[in-house]
A and B are shown apart, each in its own frame.
Chain A
Amino acid sequence: MRRFYEWIADHPYVVIGITLCVTAVFLAFIPRITTDTDFSHYIDPNDPGLVATRRAEDRYGAQSLLMVAIENTQGIFNQATLTKVAEMQAAFAAIDGVDDVTGPLNVQIVTGTETSLWVGPAAPRGTVPATAEEMAAYRDRLLQSNTARGYVVASDEQAAAISIRLKAGTNELAVTEKVASVAKEYNSSPDRVHIIGLSYMNVVLAETMGKDLRILLPLVILAIILVLYLSFRSVRGVLLPLLVVILSTGWSVGLMGAIKVPLTIISFILPVILMAIGVAYGIHVLNRFYEAIDSGLGRRTAVVETGLQMLAPVLMAGLTTVAGFLSLLNSVLVPQRDFGPFAAIGVAVAMVLSLVLIPAFLSLLRPPRQRAHRGESGFVNRVLSVFGWLVLRHRRSVLVVSAILFVAFLSGLSILRIETAETEFLGKESPVVQAMNVLERHFSGSGQLMVEIDTGVRDGLKEPALLSKIVELESYLEAKGVKKTSSLADLVREMNQKFHADDPSYYVIPEDRKLVSQLLALFTFSGGDLGNLTLGDFSAGEVMGLYPVGRSSDQVKLVRDVTAYLKAHFSSPVEAELVGETRISASLHARIARSQISSLATSIAASGAIVALLMASFVAGLISLVPLLLTIAINFGVMAFTGTPLNMATLMVSSMAIGMGIDYAIHFMSRYRREILAGGSAEKALQSTILTTGRGIAFNALSLVLGFILLLASSFKGTRDFGLFVAMTMAISALSAFTVIPAVLITWHPKFLTRTARMRRKERETSTRVE
Chain B
Amino acid sequence: MDQKRLAVALALIIASLAACVAWGAAPTGDEILVQVDQQGEFLGEGSLVTTLRFETVYADGTSSTNLFGALGNRREGGPEYSLVYFLEPADLAGTIFLSAKKAGEEARLWLYLPALGLPKELVSEEEKEDSFAGSAISYQDIGGRDLAGKYRAEIVREEDLTVGDLVRSVYVLSLTARPGATSDSALETMWVDKEEYILLRAESRSASGVLERVVEFAALGRFEGKLTADRIVARDFAGGSTTTITFLERRRPAIGLPDGLFVPESLATFDPATYGLTAR
Residues of A within 8 A of B (CB): 58-61, 96-97, 99, 112, 115-121, 124-126, 167-169, 458-459, 462, 499, 510, 512-519, 521-522, 524-527, 530, 535-537, 539
Contact = CB atoms under 8 A, between A and B. Distances in A.
Contacts of B133: 524-525
B266 interface: no
Contacts, number: 128
Contacts of A167: 206, 210, 212, 237-238
B274 interface: no
A535 B60 contact: yes
A126 B128 CA distance: 12
Contact of B125 (A96, A121, A535): A121
A495 to B, nearest CB: 10
Given A168-B240, A535-B62, A117 B91 contact: no
Nearest to A513: B91
B261 interface: no
Interface string B108-124: 00010111101011111
Contacts of B120: 112, 115-117, 499
A618 B240 CA distance: 65
Given A117-B111, A525-B97, A99 B63 contact: no
Given A121-B125, A518-B92, 9 more contacts: A112-B120, A117-B111, A167-B237, A459-B89, A499-B116, A518-B95, A521-B86, A524-B133, A527-B130
B82 interface: no
Nearest to B209: A96
A124 B125 contact: yes
B2 interface: yes
A46 B91 CA distance: 41
Contacts of B238: 99, 167-168
A535 B91 contact: no
A515 B125 contact: no
Contacts of A516: 91
A518 B123 contact: no
Nearest to A97: B206
Kindly list the 8 A-B residue pairs having the minimum CB-CB distance in the complex, ordered from nearest. A536-B58, A120-B125, A515-B115, A537-B62, A517-B91, A167-B238, A116-B121, A536-B62
B113 A515 contact: yes
A515 B113 CA distance: 8
B244 to A, nearest CB: 14
B3 interface: yes
A518 B113 contact: yes
A125 B113 contact: no
A524 B2 CA distance: 8
A521 B95 contact: yes
B122 A526 contact: yes
Nearest to A517: B91
Contacts of B111: 117, 522, 525
Contacts of A116: 120-123
Interface string B200-226: 000000111010100000000000000
Contact of B115 (A124, A169, A518): A518
A459 B1 CA distance: 22
A519 B113 contact: yes
A733 B6 CA distance: 75
Question: Considering residues A121, A514, A535, which has the most beta carbons from chain B within 10 angstroms of its beta carbon?
Answer: A514
B166 interface: no
16 contacts: A96-B207, A96-B210, A99-B239, A116-B120, A116-B121, A120-B126, A121-B126, A462-B91, A499-B118, A499-B120, A510-B115, A513-B91, A517-B91, A525-B97, A525-B134, A536-B62
Contacts of B123: 116-120
A269 B86 CA distance: 63
Nearest to B240: A168
B263 interface: no
Contacts of A458: 62
Interface residues of B, number: 45
Contacts of A525: 1-3, 6, 97, 111, 133-134
B64 interface: yes
A66 to B, nearest CB: 15
Nearest to B112: A518
Contacts of A530: 134
Contacts of B89: 459, 517
Contacts of B3: 119, 525-526
A542 to B, nearest CB: 11
A672 B61 CA distance: 71
B207 to A, nearest CB: 5
A374 B126 CA distance: 84
Contact of B60 (A60, A512, A518): A60
Contacts of A99: 238-239
B56 interface: yes
Interface string B123-143: 111101010011000000000
Contact of A524 (B125, B134, B210, B212): B134
B54 to A, nearest CB: 12
Contacts of B91: 459, 462, 513-514, 516-518
Contacts of A518: 91-92, 95, 113-116
Interface in B1-24: 1-3, 6
Contacts of A514: 91-92, 114-115
A59 B60 CA distance: 5
Question: Considering residues B111, B114, B237, which has the most beta carbons from chain A within 10 angstroms of its beta carbon?
Answer: B111
Contacts of B56: 536
Contacts of A537: 58, 62-64
Given A125-B126, A527-B2, A522 B113 contact: yes
B59 interface: yes
Contacts of B207: 96
Contacts of B92: 514, 517-518, 521
A112 B124 CA distance: 12
Given A96-B207, A168-B238, A518-B91, A499 B59 contact: no
A335 B6 CA distance: 51
A537 to B, nearest CB: 4
Nearest to A536: B58
B125 A115 contact: no
A526 B2 contact: yes
A96 B64 CA distance: 30
Contacts of B59: 61, 168, 536
B5 to A, nearest CB: 9
Given A168-B240, A521-B95, A536 B60 contact: yes
Contacts of A521: 86, 92, 95
Contact of A119 (B86, B124, B237): B124
A119 B122 contact: yes
A499 B116 CA distance: 9
Contacts of B113: 499, 515, 518-519, 522
Contacts of A58: 60
Contacts of A118: 123-125
Contacts of B62: 458, 535-537, 539
A168 B235 CA distance: 13
B66 to A, nearest CB: 9
A443 B184 CA distance: 34
A393 B219 CA distance: 101
A527 B237 contact: no
A628 B113 CA distance: 75
A499 B239 CA distance: 29
A168 B2 CA distance: 23
Contacts of A515: 113, 115-116
A116 B2 CA distance: 14
A400 to B, nearest CB: 68
Nearest to B3: A525
Interface in B74-122: 86, 89, 91-92, 95, 97, 111, 113-116, 118, 120-122
Question: Considering residues B89, B118, B125, B212, which has the most beta carbons from chain A within 10 angstroms of its beta carbon?
Answer: B125
Nearest to B95: A518
B1 A527 contact: yes
A527 B114 contact: no
